[in-house]
Amino acid sequence: CRSLTIRPPRQPNFIITVICVEPRLSPATLLRKLQSIENRLGRRRCLRWGPRTIDLDLLLYDQYIFSNRTLTLPHPRMLERNFVLYPLADIAPHLKLPCGKYLPEVLANCNPDGIVRFDAGETRGSTR
């Protein structure tokens, strides 16, 4: 799906994709790998929530709950972000989250404003 930007500075809308993998890496190692990919693709961390070429987030790691200074699982703002929850529901519609809630329950309280859905092969998208 595509999401409208909601924070300053004003920047282009962005494409959101959520994937599910079965990693053989620890959460910390997986995060480092994701950040390495971002760096290779030109990501520069100059301004919080600023424009970026790519943003790879580790949202969940099974039912693992963890926090240190570099990583918090589940992602600390995941439940506040409709642009993450809607594509997550596309791949795991009945997911039980580590907080104990099920994804449909969380989505029932989400506003789909600003979300534009893309289907396979589509280039323009349709509003949710």
What CA–CA distance (Å, rounded) separates 25 from 41? 21
Report whether 86 contacts 45 (CB < 8 A). no
* Residue tagged active-site, from 57, 90, 113, 128: 57
The pair of structure tokens assigned to 107 is 């989505």
Active site residue 52: yes
Active-site residue, from 2, 32, 43, 117: 43
Catalytic: which of 55, 77, 113, 128? Answer: 55
> Which of 93, 70, 112 has its CA nearest to residue 18?
93
Backbone φ, ψ for residue 102 (5° rounding): -95, 150
Query: Is-catalytic flag, 62?
Result: no
Report residue 8 CA to chain centroid gap. 19
Catalytic entry in 24, 32, 44, 52? 52
Picking from 83, 81, 116, 88, the residue whose alpha carbon sits closest to that of residue 103 is 88
Residue 55 catalytic?
Answer: yes
Catalytic residues: 43, 52, 55, 57
